Homo-oligomer: A and B are copies of this chain.
Amino acid sequence: MNRTVFFVSESTGITAETLGHSLLTQFDSVDFEQVYMPYINTDLRAKALTQRLQEAADRDGARPIVFATMLNEEIRDIIKSGNCFYMELFEVFVGPLSKELGVPPSMKSGRSHAITKPSFYTKRIEAINFAMANDDGIRPDNFHRADVVLTGVSRSGKTPTCLYLAMHYGLRSANYPITEEDFERGDVPQLLYDCKDKLFALTIDPQRLQLIREERRPGSPYASLKRCQDDIRVAQQMFKRLQVPTLNTTTQSIEEISSQIIKALKERQEGRPLELTEMGGAAGR
């Protein structure tokens, strides 16, 4: 079965898309074609959209689904009048929330991904710059300035995770790749022991690592399965000695890993550290 889904918003559409995607994961037997429609903020654009809704309905033989966050009722009504199954994600909650808070809603649109808190926005941008400047262990002398430090073998997912932590949580993130030198010595440098309170290790299944490395340096000893297995085995021993929580990037997305790191950091701050095994356990669900 094929159905077209439109994510519609007066501004970026990120909220409609995020909740819409979550809802779609509940129906994995349906094949959804997804259309992204931000900045539908004039009557003209809304009317053009209804035309596209009709085209999708004709093509699929079923009306398209619309996930929308529209505050302007006039524009909303134009879209609703189109041939679609319209789900307003915002409206249903604003009323009850307003009653609970005892404050009327502002009804201003497009504030949720705008720069509403300049200080946090600046912090995020600075964190991205920090992550760029402290990628791949370029400057381990900077680790004392970092909020979080990731370690792991080459290509285990440290860089994308650092960038995600910086971009979404404003965390200054650095990473240290386990190098040839560390493997020869059989241990990581002291500086990682020194930042244990903010250190996390990433690991990955050898088969997956091999695929990634093979793409990068085809046919090299670096990409052989044996080398990947050895690297990961020795790295695991190092992490055990470090007593650092280990997260597996084979099965978990950067969003999931980041979310677990944030949780663990907060619990450490509150003096309630996670058991080491718990992180993997949570991910298993």
Chain B residue nearest to A250 in the complex (CB)? B115
Chain B nearest CB from A278 CB (Å) reads 9
Knowing A41-B282, A256-B114 are in contact, say whether A160-B128 is a contact too (CB < 8 A). Answer: yes
CB-CB contacts below 8 Å: A152-199 with B = 157, 159-160, 163-164, 167
Return chain B residues, CB-CB under 8 Å to A109: 285
A27 to B93, CA, bound (A): 12
Q: Mark A233-251, 1 if CB is under 8 A from B, else 0.
A: 0000000000000000001
Knowing A22-B112, A27-B105, A255-B113 are in contact, say whether A97-B65 is a contact too (CB < 8 A). Answer: yes
Return chain B residues, CB-CB under 8 Å to A115: 251-253
CB-CB contacts below 8 Å: A250-285 with B = 251-256, 259-260, 262-263, 266, 282, 285
Knowing A15-B18, A90-B22 are in contact, say whether A113-B30 is a contact too (CB < 8 A). Answer: no
Verify A25–B112 contact, CB threshold 8 A: yes
Give the number of copies in the complex.
2
Query: Quick check: is A28 within 8 A (CB to CB) of the other chain?
Result: yes
Verify B14–A18 contact, CB threshold 8 A: yes
Return chain B residues, CB-CB under 8 Å to A61: none
Return chain B residues, CB-CB under 8 Å to A146: none
Knowing A256-B114, A259-B39, A263-B39 are in contact, say whether A11-B87 is a contact too (CB < 8 A). Answer: no
Return chain B residues, CB-CB under 8 Å to A12: 255-256, 259
Return chain B residues, CB-CB under 8 Å to A132: 132, 135, 159
Return chain B residues, CB-CB under 8 Å to A41: 282, 285
Verify B285–A11 contact, CB threshold 8 A: yes
Verify B251–A23 contact, CB threshold 8 A: no
Chain B nearest CB from A235 CB (Å) reads 20
Closest 3 CB pairs of A and B: A25-B111, A22-B112, A26-B105
Offer 11 A-B interface pairs, CB within 8 angstroms, sorted by A: A23-B93, A25-B106, A26-B106, A27-B105, A39-B259, A39-B263, A65-B97, A65-B100, A89-B93, A110-B256, A167-B254
